[in-house]
Amino acid sequence: MKHSMKGVPVSSVQLTDGFWKTRTHMVATEAIPYQWRALNDSVPGVPKSHAVENFRIAAGEADGDVHGMVFQDSDIGKWIEAASYALLAHRDPAIEEQIDALVRVIGKAQQSDGYINTFFTLVKPEERWSELVQGHELYSAGHLIEAAVAYHEVTGKREFLEIMVRFADHIDEVFGPEEGKLHLFDGHPEVELALYRLAEATGTERYARLADYFLDVRGSIPDFSRGRPAKEGMIDDSRWFYNDYYNAQCATRDLRDAEGHAVRAVYLYSGLADQYGRTGDDEILTALRALWKSVVERRMYVTAGLGSQARGERFTVDYDLPGDTAYAETCASVGFVFWAWRMTLIDPNREYADIAERALYNGALGGIALDGHSYHYVNALEVRPEVAEYRHDHDHVEPERVGWFECACCPTNVARLVASIGAYLVSHDEETVWIHQYVSARTSVPLRDGAVDLAVQSGFPWDGRVTLTMHSTVPERFSVYVRIPEWADSYAITVDGSAASVAAGPNGYAAITADWSGKHAIGLSFDMAPRLVRANDKVAETAGRVAIQRGPLIYCVEEVDNGPDLHQLIVDPRGSIRVERDDSLVEGGTILVVPGHREIDGDEAMTLYRDYRAPRRLDPCQIRAVPFFMRGNRGRGEHRVWVRVGP
């Protein structure tokens, strides 16, 4: 079963107003300039990046030593990609000039054979392509290639694209199934995604075949994890870093359970989805569906965070989802969106777009502060700052948002996702239009016999009302598919102001078929009543607790609203949750006021242990909850997603 669905190019989508317009404008005007300063070591009090300076040294424009992680070049690639997409929201000549100047430096750093990597060029030139386990050469190459494709798409400029084409040609000369080439793959998947994008951008099938090769050869080296790790790989010879850490324990078509490093995993699964989209190989689809179920049904946090163990930043076993030691890396939720979108295109079903929505609004967006100047690498669902600062098993948990990281993969990654949000809204085949995410935007959707100019006016995530205005030149009837979110207990659909008789199909979309020639409007209204969510009983850490959800947003309680010792709060499930507008952090934002109690110990002596029957009291209180992505924007303090529930 191969579906021929296509997305609408991000460059042809214009955000018009509302939540995501505000977020993309923040990225364009605040996050991108701030990140540029961080990459140039101009932000005081944060870890030095040196990423731009590394390229200047490699280009012969500066003296000094390479500094940073072995994959530091990838931060440059992701920043250029994010900045490129940000130009769609805010065409800033200064940012464009910075990109152009940086591209020229990258071109000067390129070796005569096309190779680009500042670490191996300057530190280990004799060991190029010899440390694939942790060297990240292909990973870094992939992010630079993706950046070049994005910059070309947005600006039409070809210089960076041509530099990366020379690099891709070099990679194709070094790797492949032919005799005399290296029969290897990178420890961190990413180049596969880039090569598929480059093949589409240039019309060069050879790059897609190379991506296929990297996916097909994975799992063919039994002792892959025992290779010599590169400088600063931070990998030891323990059970956490065997082949499954790299998703290299078997052939990709035989993968069934989500294993290993969560970011590596979702990047690999995204590449597999790309491969299926071009080959239609049913073995790949079987693997993808099994992996999806493994993640979504047994190994995903309610925020769409992935990775429940800091050691190896990895998946563990089914239903092991501790909140306070969660890793839930921002990059993993970003990659989850990439994978979910690709699954939507090859197998249109609501569950994929629902998860993309969950990851967008919660796990990914929670990684960047509202002002774009500080970040979470780890998105734990429960944080007590004094514990996080002291306990070794909480060493990875940031007690508050920080300005930059030694390993700064997440800031630029979440920026490129937010800036490119328009790419994930609409898809089509020759005869149908599909609406997956409800974001206020305008675009044109090509069909076989005409085009549909589409304008979306959306109140998401605060309000469930959406209007789709269409002007079609298609002469015959066709279908528009609209997603009915899983969280909406009820919904209504109108066409040109009159109630439409439609029902959600088995895939969770409602099909509205009509003669759409001329101008028409579809009205959607989704119930956004707050709900209390409980986890599967096998998740030990959430027993007796609930999470609070409204629409696509997961909420959490913070110390700034509710005082310390949030574990004392108890939600009353019989009470009515009140929705209040609060513009103090985000315009149009909503907080939830949840009836409940605070458990107070009646033992004035405050002994450490006491008889169960000792006095205690339950003081009625109003528990205030804010969206998870907004946490940590009002200073240091506790927060938690899962709250006790009871009478």
Give catalytic residues, as residue numbers: 313, 409
Contact 13, 443 (CB under 8 A): yes
- Output the CA torsion sign for 106, 112, 113, 119: negative
Question: Rounded to an integer, what distance in angstroms lies between the CA atom of residue 192 and that of residue 138?
Answer: 9
Contact 187, 136 (CB under 8 A): yes
Question: Rounded to an integer, what distance in angstroms lies between the CA atom of residue 581 and that of residue 599?
Answer: 28
Long-range contacts of residues 52-57, Cβ cutoff 8 Å, at least 24 apart? 52/76, 52/102, 52/105, 54/118, 54/119, 54/122, 55/102, 55/105, 55/106, 55/109, 55/118, 56/105, 57/118, 57/122
- Output the CA torsion sign for 233, 239, 242, 248: negative
Q: Calculate the CA dihedral of residues 183, 279, 296, 134 and round it to 10 degrees.
A: 20
Contacts of 520 (CB under 8 A, 6+ apart): 469, 470, 472, 495, 496, 514
- Output the CA torsion sign for 150, 153, 158, 162: positive
Question: Rounded to an integer, what distance in angstroms lies between the CA atom of residue 643 and that of residue 46?
Answer: 34
Contact 248, 259 (CB under 8 A): no
Question: Rounded to an integer, what distance in angstroms lies between the CA atom of residue 28 and that of residue 416?
Answer: 10
The identity of residue 90, as a single letter, is H
Question: Rounded to an integer, what distance in angstroms lies between the CA atom of residue 627 and that of residue 590?
Answer: 8
Helix, strand, coil percentages (3-state) for the chain, rounded to 5, are 40, 20, 40
Paired tokens of 45? 């009090």
Question: Rounded to an integer, what distance in angstroms lies between the CA atom of residue 203 and that of residue 408?
Answer: 33
